[in-house]
Amino acid sequence: MQLLLPEARALDAQDLLHLYDPGEAPGVRAGFVLSTDGAIAQDGSSRPLQSAADEAVFHALRAVSDAVLVGAGTARTEDYGPVRPRPDGQAWRAQRALPEQPPLVLVSRSLDLDPAARCFTGPSVVVTCAAARGGDRFPDVLVAGEDEVDLPEAVRQLRERGLTRLLCEGGPQLLTAMLQAGLVDELCLTHTPRLLGPAPGLLTVPLTRELELQHLVDGGDGVLLARYRIS
């Protein structure tokens, strides 16, 4: 892989961890892979859009985060498992006395989640609201809001637990709500060189935000990985 901007240089797995290191400041970044025409899924899954470069950055983003936030829809359709950093990410976390695995934080209004699902075989937190029924089926439940999930309150409570550098892996419904609440600081996008035609995109409602390019990586085979700051 090759960093193209802000300066040109070759990158190895270790460099990727440094490049995506969010530092000490609390914040939320979102990571997505999308086609050139903006599709985030092909036949209902993001897997066909992924590549070796996307996977490398996906794992680096996870390794440098305190927790990984995901909407229940994505956890259900993508059969999410626990977050397991690769060996270089594990070493990175050990050097910084971070827990071996960042917890998976699942956001759900309905709690239509199977406690026996793979995502609950590692550290996990379920974020829901007071009106939801069945929270006692999950090992760790964070209640934020009465009838709907209050995302700013959820982020506040996660920060209180020391989970300050959050990675949001979508999906579009959760990303849109997080953006509407002004909670997202950064977008890390993998641009896969493919046209797909009408398909779900990043956002579920019209919404305008200006993005400032922080860096651009050439992942090979036409894959471009960009990190944007949201102003």
Ligand X SMILES: NC(=O)c1ccc[n+]([C@@H]2O[C@H](COP(=O)([O-])OP(=O)(O)OC[C@H]3O[C@@H](n4cnc5c(N)ncnc54)[C@H](OP(=O)(O)O)[C@@H]3O)[C@@H](O)[C@H]2O)c1
Say whether 110 sits in a helix, a strand or coil.
Answer: coil
**Under rule CB under 6 A, residue 121 binds ligand X:** no
98/202 with CB nearer ligand X: 202
Residue 189 CB, nearest approach to ligand X (Å): 9
98/228 with CB nearer ligand X: 228
- In the list 16, 17, 28, 32, the residue contacting ligand X (rule: CB under 6 A) is 32
CA distance 215 to 29: 14
| CB-CB contact of 138 with 126 (8 Å) | yes
**Under rule CB under 6 A, residue 107 binds ligand X:** yes
Q: Which two tokens stand for residue 44?
A: 């209902």
163/188 with CB nearer ligand X: 188
**Under rule CB under 6 A, residue 45 binds ligand X:** yes
CA distance 42 to 22: 30
Looking at residue 42, what DSSP letter applies? Answer: B
| CB-CB contact of 48 with 184 (8 Å) | no
**Under rule CB under 6 A, residue 40 binds ligand X:** yes
CA distance 170 to 161: 22
**Under rule CB under 6 A, residue 68 binds ligand X:** no
Say whether 60 sits in a helix, a strand or coil.
Answer: helix
Interacting positions 131-150 with ligand X (CB under 6 A): 149
CA distance 101 to 78: 19
**Under rule CB under 6 A, residue 174 binds ligand X:** yes
**Under rule CB under 6 A, residue 53 binds ligand X:** no
Q: Which stretch binds ligand X (CB under 6 A): 8-16, 87-95, 160-168, 169-177?
A: 169-177
**Under rule CB under 6 A, residue 57 binds ligand X:** no
**What counts of helices (H) and strands (E) characterise the chain?**
6, 11
55/88 with CB nearer ligand X: 55
Beta bridge partners of 16: none
Write out the residues near ligand X by the rule CB under 6 A.
Answer: 32-34, 40-41, 44-46, 49, 71-74, 77-78, 107-110, 112, 149, 151, 169-174, 177
